[in-house]
Chains A and B, each alone.
Chain A
Amino acid sequence: MASSYFSKSKALIMQNLKSRKFLTLGFVNRTSSVTTSQFPPHLIKTISFPPLPARNYESSSRINSSIAFARCFASVSGGRGAHTATSVSDDVDQFCTESPSQEVDFPGGKVKFTPKLTFTSKTIEERVPCYRVLNENGDLIIDSDSVEISKELAVKMYTDMVTLQVMDTIFYEAQRQGRISFYLTAIGEEAINIASAAALNINDFVFPQYREAGVLLWRGFTLQEFANQLFGNKYDYGKGRQMPIHYGSKKLNYITVASTVATQVPHAVGAAYSMKMEKKDSCTVTYFGDGGSSTGDFHAALNFAAVMEAPVIFFCRNNGWAISTPVRDQFRSDGIVVKGNAYGVPSIRVDGNDVLAVYSAVHQARKMAIQEQTPVLIEALTYRAGHHSTSDDSTKYRSLDEIEWWRGDQNPVKRFRKFIENKGWWSEEAESEHRSNIRKQLSQAIQAAERVEKPSIGDLFSDVYDASPKNLREQESFLRKNIEKHARDYPTDVPL
């Protein structure tokens, strides 16, 4: 769309160009949107000034302002502030009677001019500060704002963090023993998982990446249900069609994990738009890592969400590593929080290993998203204390010392344990009882899941479409006839 706009007459321009004050500014005012420091007088005569587009600006008022999209080409200054055609001319009239203006209405809004030729800096002078409530010793930092939590909530959060930690350790071992084909842990990110889930409502749709099993755990997914998915048995809700850790639960509003990185980010925006249309008292939440923030999908999603005013929480788990790529090789910006800012999305950086900070930030973000109908970005700084997955050995590209340091006092589970023990809400006995309890449940769940039979071959052909198409029905009947004919060659543990 044409983005330049013009004053009423050439005479005004000539007058302005000749004024000394204008020349010191070094920019061409109002003749075009291209700014040049010098404008040879002989060229000015050859510039033609097409009239303003004959557009009925009144049509903008039909658009419901509470959920309208910014139509930057519909109004001269663009953005949400309506700026009509007539007022541009008014400014021009003022222009010729007063001193040269210090700012102009470009499409997109007013900008102030500067005569200084300076570029923004490449290096970050001061990083965006990180919101933190609990220190390493589990003490509340003085003057910290945080949401008050009850003993029940604190203990539930802590026990779920421990469950997640134990579950991850044992399932990881199961993979190492060859009982499941693949696993990936959230070690080091327990606070992010549990505290963010705790601050949400069950009606908030979750669009996960893959390191957020704790959110599902919080919502009520059982250890047995996790095990069933990992073993791909007939009780798996995914009917054995996906690799391990690709959990999903329609009942718990947790969209099935997909392997494609960051595709869930625009999905979350679309679903948030749908919620907005239905005026629901809920939002969507999407998780992704530092690596995921490099994808095209991330940028499109943030940009769109801001324009659409969609109620979505973007939760970035900046854990320092995308498999073997450290953040320094991933981006040169000050993390992800500034990117949210760049797209016009309210953003915050939090200590991802601090349960209370994560809880408070998500609690507040949710309120903002729903009440103000805006996207919100949370960048949680943390550390991926485990390997990327069972297919990775991270000691190959990072030092053991680094890993051990993060498993020490910074460890979210240890820090929160100190907090609740200081409050008298937890004890050593409770700890060992809970841990041994979970270990027992897990071992039973694994054994049970291993014994359950696999999905039947009917599940190979169903759900490709809503209604089964003819070619698949033919293929299935052909397969079954074949099995009957060659029963000896068919595996005994795959039910028909």
Chain B
Amino acid sequence: MLGIIKQKVGARGLTAPVFGDYMQKLSPVASAMRDFSSATKKMTVRDALNSALDEEMAADSNVFVMGEEVGEYQGAYKITKGLLDKYGPDRVVDTPITEAGFTGIGVGAAYHGLKPVIEFMTFNFSMQAIDHIINSAAKSNYMSGGKINVPIVFRGPNGAAAGVGAQHSQCYGAWYGAIPGLKVLVPYSSEDARGLLKAAIRDPDPVVFLENEILYGDSFPVSQEVLDPNFCLPIGKAKIERQGKDVTITAYSKMVGFALKAAEILEKDGINAEVINLRSIRPLDRDTINDSVRKTNRLVTVEEGFRQHGVGAEICASVVEDSFNYLDAPVERIAGADVPTPYTANLERLAFPQIEDIVRATKRACYRSG
């Protein structure tokens, strides 16, 4: 698994020469960072999440973390490392194995005014608790006539890791993204991780925070602004990771990295792709997506989740509704294969979108598949 991570990091091309070019293509704010790249700190997504949790717990004594292995074990993926020693067992709560139980308890604590951050070892296990997430958390403010708000965050790794099989690999973006009353966030970089987690913890509504296990170990540059303890990103705003004029590629979580790499390959063939990092599935930033499509006239959606009723389906519908006349080609949807995820590495690779798939689909959208 470590081998795959190393390969992927290498593939993204975060080595020095390519890094500069990569930064050049980003928005002006980011390219300003290029001037300070030697002084800019780098931070892994894991550290970004850990520091965000630490700072929010220090700032507000109502914030507490609960989940399996979050305390003594330092977190199944070490996201909560050091928090038990710093804040004690009342605020970093190790739970028995019952997702339904500790999710219900977290919701009850939120009803009374605490701000729980519930960790699922993977969102696949959240299915055991989904009744509490949807019926007890998401719908409560509405059903109680605005009397019971639930300032809770549900976080954990989502989607595929590597070689973990069908019951550990599903993406839940589309499932939770359908529910009114929930907010669903999907960070990609360390900046996203810090800014969005802080925003989620401070938000009075229930938030589902979908991380990615593979991204935990990835490093990203972070500016001084990002390191500020009050740094928050707005919920519901997508980020244009790469400006382009020929085609719009939307992606979230790990797929953002793949899309960026695909965009570099496409550049060599003269296709200038705009890559949008969704950052938020609910609310979905329809304006940014539609503005982009009105500029490029072509759309490719990328996701790891299943195709039917997926996030890409919603984006496609939104663009068809709002920007129909601007489309020069049918929308290309890239998603995970319609199978429970197989275990063996070769089959698993075929079950999820790869960089080549994104390149091919984008060429098709540009009528260049020849």
Which residues of A are at the interface with B, using a C-beta cutoff of 8 A?
62-64, 67-69, 71, 73-74, 205, 207, 236-239, 241-242, 246, 248, 250, 255-256, 258, 260, 263, 265-275, 277, 284, 296-297, 299-301, 303-304, 307-308, 462-466, 469-471
Given A205-B112, A304-B105, A466-B149, does the pair A63, B89 have CB atoms closer than 8 Å? yes
Does the CB pair A273–B146 fall under 8 Å? no
CA distance A65 to B108 in the complex (A): 24
Does the CB pair B105–A303 fall under 8 Å? no
Given A263-B131, A266-B101, A267-B136, does the pair A256, B147 have CB atoms closer than 8 Å? yes
Does the CB pair B104–A265 fall under 8 Å? yes
Shortest CB-to-CB span from B311 to chain A, Å, is: 16
Closest 3 CB pairs of A and B: A300-B101, A270-B108, A266-B104
Does the CB pair B100–A296 fall under 8 Å? yes
CA distance A232 to B329 in the complex (A): 50
- Provide a sorted-by-A list of 13 A–B residue pairs whose CB atoms are within 8 angstroms: A242-B143, A248-B144, A256-B144, A266-B100, A267-B111, A267-B136, A270-B112, A273-B114, A274-B112, A296-B100, A300-B100, A300-B101, A463-B142
Residues from 84 to 103 in B contacting A, C-beta threshold 8 Å: 85, 88-90, 93-96, 98, 100-103
CA distance A190 to B30 in the complex (A): 67
Shortest CB-to-CB span from B180 to chain A, Å, is: 5
Shortest CB-to-CB span from B64 to chain A, Å, is: 8
Of chain A, the residue at the smallest CB distance from B109 is A270
CA distance A265 to B196 in the complex (A): 32
Does the CB pair A71–B111 fall under 8 Å? no
Residues of A within 8 A of B205 (CB): 465-466
Does the CB pair B112–A241 fall under 8 Å? no
Residues of B within 8 A of A67 (CB): 89-90
* Number of interchain pairs (Cβ within 8 Å): 159
CA distance A318 to B104 in the complex (A): 23
Residues of B within 8 A of A256 (CB): 140, 143-145, 147-148
Residues of A within 8 A of B149 (CB): 466
Does the CB pair B146–A258 fall under 8 Å? no
Does the CB pair A469–B105 fall under 8 Å? no
Does the CB pair A236–B112 fall under 8 Å? no
Q: Return the CB mask of B118-152 against A: 1 if under 8 Å, else 0.
A: 00000000000001100110001111111111000
Does the CB pair A270–B236 fall under 8 Å? no
Picked from A69, A260, A275, A308, the residue with its CB within 8 Å of the CB of B112 is A275
Picked from A73, A236, A267, A470, the residue with its CB within 8 Å of the CB of B104 is A267
Does the CB pair B145–A463 fall under 8 Å? yes
Does the CB pair B104–A69 fall under 8 Å? no
Does the CB pair A465–B101 fall under 8 Å? no
Of chain A, the residue at the smallest CB distance from B64 is A277
Shortest CB-to-CB span from B96 to chain A, Å, is: 6
Does the CB pair B143–A266 fall under 8 Å? no
Does the CB pair B72–A74 fall under 8 Å? yes
Shortest CB-to-CB span from A236 to chain B, Å, is: 7
Whether B234 sits at the interface, judged by CB under 8 Å, is no
Residues of B within 8 A of A246 (CB): 143
Shortest CB-to-CB span from A485 to chain B, Å, is: 21
Residues of A within 8 A of B107 (CB): 266-267, 270
Of chain B, the residue at the smallest CB distance from A271 is B112
Whether B110 sits at the interface, judged by CB under 8 Å, is yes
Residues of A within 8 A of B142 (CB): 241, 463-464
Residues of A within 8 A of B100 (CB): 266, 296-297, 300
Residues of B within 8 A of A237 (CB): 145, 147
Whether B183 sits at the interface, judged by CB under 8 Å, is yes
Q: A300-B100, A304-B98 are in contact. List 13 more A-B contacts (CB 8 A).
A: A236-B145, A256-B140, A260-B131, A263-B104, A268-B108, A270-B108, A270-B109, A274-B108, A275-B112, A300-B98, A304-B105, A308-B93, A469-B283
Does the CB pair B146–A239 fall under 8 Å? yes
Whether B340 sits at the interface, judged by CB under 8 Å, is no
Does the CB pair A270–B141 fall under 8 Å? no
CA distance A258 to B108 in the complex (A): 13
Shortest CB-to-CB span from B92 to chain A, Å, is: 10
Whether B181 sits at the interface, judged by CB under 8 Å, is yes
Does the CB pair A269–B145 fall under 8 Å? no
Shortest CB-to-CB span from B15 to chain A, Å, is: 40
Of chain B, the residue at the smallest CB distance from A462 is B146
Given A260-B135, A303-B98, does the pair A69, B109 have CB atoms closer than 8 Å? no
Picked from B95, B98, B108, the residue with its CB within 8 Å of the CB of A267 is B108
Whether B113 sits at the interface, judged by CB under 8 Å, is yes
Residues of B within 8 A of A462 (CB): 146
Whether B106 sits at the interface, judged by CB under 8 Å, is yes
Whether B330 sits at the interface, judged by CB under 8 Å, is no
CA distance A33 to B268 in the complex (A): 64
Residues of B within 8 A of A469 (CB): 236, 283
CA distance A256 to B108 in the complex (A): 12
Residues of B within 8 A of A241 (CB): 142-143, 145
Whether B13 sits at the interface, judged by CB under 8 Å, is no
Whether B20 sits at the interface, judged by CB under 8 Å, is no
Does the CB pair A69–B283 fall under 8 Å? no
CA distance A242 to B143 in the complex (A): 6
Does the CB pair A266–B135 fall under 8 Å? no
CA distance A36 to B104 in the complex (A): 40
Does the CB pair A260–B104 fall under 8 Å? no
CA distance A256 to B146 in the complex (A): 11
Does the CB pair B98–A465 fall under 8 Å? no
CA distance A129 to B361 in the complex (A): 73
Of chain B, the residue at the smallest CB distance from A269 is B105
Residues of A within 8 A of B132 (CB): 263, 266
Residues of A within 8 A of B183 (CB): 465
Does the CB pair A464–B141 fall under 8 Å? yes
Residues of B within 8 A of A260 (CB): 131, 135-136
Q: Return the CB mask of B277-314 against A: 1 if under 8 Å, else 0.
A: 00000010000000000000000000000000000000
Residues of A within 8 A of B236 (CB): 469
Residues of A within 8 A of B204 (CB): 466
